[in-house]
Amino acid sequence: MADSLRHLLEQRAEETPERTYLLDPDSQQELSFAGIKDRAVALSALLVRHGLGPGDRVALLMPNGLEAASLFLAVMAAGCVVSPLSLLAQPQQLAYMLDHSDCRLVFVAPEHLKPLRQALALVSGAVTFVVIEEDWLETSATNWALPAPGKDDYALLMYTSGTTGRPKGVRLSHGNLLAGASFVSQAHALGPDDRVLAVLPLYHINAQVVTVLAPLVHGGSLVMPQRFSAGRFWSLAEDYGCSWLNLVPTIIAYLLEGSGPTTPPSAIRFCRSASAPLAPAHHRAFEERFGIDIIETMGLTETAAPVFTNPLEPSLRKIGSPGQAFGNEARVVEPSSGEILQAGLSGEIQIRGANVMRGYHKDPEETAKAITADGWLRTGDLGYQDRDGFFFITGRLKELIIKGGENIAPREIDEVLLDHPAVLEAAAFAVADEFFGQEIEAAVVLKPQQTISEAELRTFCELTLGRFKTPRAIRFLTELPKGPSGKVQRLKL
């Protein structure tokens, strides 16, 4: 395997230079493997002209598409560290990330220039920016202007969504990213003829590793529109001959509510779901309606995306589980004592492997809390492993509801609410209570043209959950607060 993203780019450009790697349906442009490598070489010269050297941080504030994806790769291959910023972040949040990362240069799309200028006014250090416009990059350079990065050099600085307090900067090396991308390619048996429809935002680890880096590893290709659109989703998959889909549960829910094709694109072999637990009701409904198998998986920013995956063979998959460990090791431990738990017992899930981050940027204390002396990452996820090696996620340590001393996993309540035909999205959460310590409430988003009362929903829950676990109140919202991957942020509720 290549030891850095530069090495991998050079391999692809040498072996299959004219083969298409990236297609942008909005600009009607495409890039070959040779083209993406040439852009990276040219970018290295531009970085040097701006006074940057190996390991300097470069931020991206751009929507999906050819420019964003090629810059994401090129910055790392050139020898600098890339830090994609959320397009949903407010100027104060942007300023914090630019300051904390010691960013030197920002590549920005014209439509995001205003919030960037507002953020830069709050930044203490000197940060310059380049606006990405037509013919912005001079591509005549033929030699790399910076030294080649190595396996252990940092390549990506990703800020977590930060449900509480300041977001943490996750530091991932070239080796971490190549390991994560390789696990995706191997787990799904992907090859040069495979093409993925990439609709997740490029400021999230799922999009970065699963849809940009994995195709580079297996020599495949990706189609990257600027944003997800339910109305054009299936036509893009058909028109560009995509063989697999990479989605999150939120998108799956909205596709189920859309018109959809009467016959799904024949070339699609499977749909991959990650970034948040997929409700079994939505899993079954998607497969039944569209005739496309879903492979549920799980990943983290701190593990360069993949952690668990269900098998390729449909008969071996388990609905409701993100699957088995693939590439890395996994175990379940008792959170307070660290005792390794047997199959069926619930505790904190821990991960160890080549994809696990080196640590949090400028935060040795949090790094020490997160990674044990022998390399196990404390994920903060609660769950258990069955006798077949499949993991089941029941919640987050920080999101666990403790009512009258009983631990209640919010997901158990979510899934009951999602079973109701009127409910599109649901999230249970804890609220303070004088008698029980914590009580259960829930927020739901109803499907279009659907109506139901709170009392009716509570009665529906009681039939399955019983009175103790039924939310004492259910709030009706137009949308749930989510991070960039579509994962519901319960603590904000």
Whether 261 has a pLDDT exceeding 90, the answer reads: no
Whether 145 has a pLDDT exceeding 60, the answer reads: yes
Residues 77-131: tens digit of each pLDDT: 999 999 999 998 889 889 999 999 999 999 999 999 999 999 999 998 899 999 9
pLDDT given for residue 391 in this prediction: 97
- Mean pLDDT across the chain, nearest whole number? 93
Whether 370 has a pLDDT exceeding 50, the answer reads: yes
Residues 381-429: tens digit of each pLDDT: 999 999 999 999 887 777 878 787 676 878 889 989 999 999 999 999 9
Whether 163 has a pLDDT exceeding 50, the answer reads: no
Residues 228-257: tens digit of each pLDDT: 999 999 999 999 999 999 998 889 988 998
Residues 305-321: tens digit of each pLDDT: 999 999 999 999 999 99
Residue 303: Cβ within 10 Å count: 28
- Domains, the chain, with CATH or none: 5-385 (3.40.50.12780), 400-492 (3.30.300.30)
Percentage of the chain lying above the pLDDT 90 cut: 78
Q: How confident is the model at residue 326 (pLDDT cuts 50, 70, 90)?
A: very high
pLDDT given for residue 161 in this prediction: 60
pLDDT given for residue 324 in this prediction: 98
pLDDT given for residue 288 in this prediction: 93
